[in-house]
């Protein structure tokens, strides 16, 4: 049932960047709904860790790329927690096989777009409809949507074309939802991470270790899920006001053009 605590749903919230955000919000006093595709037993330790901060934590298993799963996720949050203030769209997949553009397949393209773009768009739609109901009942009620994307939406990777396209489109989705939801007190942001040390980036660690050593970044270290979590918490707290629709790039200076 509803409490006086704010409530956040974080997709992909049991590992990597999503877990970094979930942990940061748990420390801020949020009740959480965390989503993932693994069985609940496989994430039991993570749920215990999140609950150690004193809030309620509900696990919502499901694939955001599938319509019925998205509906089930929101229904579970409504039943178990009763309200929702923040949606963090973090669930995402990399390009299967990391194939060159000339070898890319429609199957892989559709798989990436289903999770990284379509799933987020329509989950935001479900969230928005619900939060508008809450705002209409209580005009002081405020909500927030945060889309976690990637600098790959700006930087071309020849072996991850579908991945790059999904994040480029997410930038426009952020703007679209910011415009549509502003009258209802819902701010929409995009956090654009650079090279973050997670299980997803583990296979390319040697490559990026070398690039970082050669000066790829202004801040010469891997980013961490905690870095992204702290940024998300600042947005949720309203520490960066008057900025709906904007992008917060957390990349150690990677995308600054230099001569």
Whether this prediction's pTM lies above 0.85 is answered by: yes
- In tens, the pLDDT along 2-24 reads 568 999 999 999 999 999 999 99
Respond yes or no: is residue 163 known to be catalytic.
yes
Q: How far is CA 33 from CA 26, 62, 118, 202, in A?
A: 11, 12, 21, 26
Question: Which one of the listed residues 30, 59, 163, 189 is annotated catalytic?
Answer: 163
Cα distance between residue 222 and residue 202, in whole Å: 11
Q: Could you tell me where the DSSP H helices lie in the chain?
A: 16-27, 44-51, 67-80, 106-113, 120-137, 161-181, 205-213, 225-237
Say if CB 162 and CB 112 are below 8 A apart.
Answer: yes
Average pLDDT, the chain: 96
- In tens, the pLDDT along 44-79 reads 999 999 999 999 999 999 999 999 999 999 999 999
């Amino acid at each position: 049932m509803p409490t006086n605590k704010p409530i956040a749903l974080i997709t992909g919230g049991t590992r990597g960047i999503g877990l970094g955000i979930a942990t940061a919000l748990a420390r801020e006093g949020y009740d959480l709904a965390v989503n993932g595709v693994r069985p609940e037993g496989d994430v039991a330790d993570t749920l215990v860790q999140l609950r150690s901060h004193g809030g309620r934590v509900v696990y919502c298993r499901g694939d955001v790329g599938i319509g019925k799963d998205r509906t089930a996720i929101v229904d579970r949050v409504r039943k178990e927690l009763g309200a929702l203030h923040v949606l963090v769209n973090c669930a995402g997949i990399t390009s299967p096989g990391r194939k060159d553009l000339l070898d890319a397949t429609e199957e892989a393209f559709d798989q990436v777009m289903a999770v990284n773009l379509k799933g987020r768009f329509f989950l935001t739609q479900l969230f928005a409809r619900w939060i508008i109901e809450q705002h209409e009942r209580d005009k002081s009620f405020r909500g927030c949507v945060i889309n976690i994307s990637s600098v790959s939406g700006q930087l071309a990777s020849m072996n991850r074309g579908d991945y790059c396209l999904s994040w480029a489109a997410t930038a426009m989705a952020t703007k679209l939802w910011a415009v549509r939801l502003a009258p209802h007190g819902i701010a929409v942001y995009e956090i654009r991470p650079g090279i973050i040390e997670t299980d997803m980036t583990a296979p390319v660690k040697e490559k990026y270790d070398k690039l970082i050593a050669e000066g790829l970044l202004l801040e010469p270290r891997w980013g961490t899920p905690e870095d992204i979590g702290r940024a998300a918490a600042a947005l949720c707290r309203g520490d960066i006001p008057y900025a709906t629709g904007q992008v917060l790039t957390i990349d150690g200076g990677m995308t600054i053009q230099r001569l």
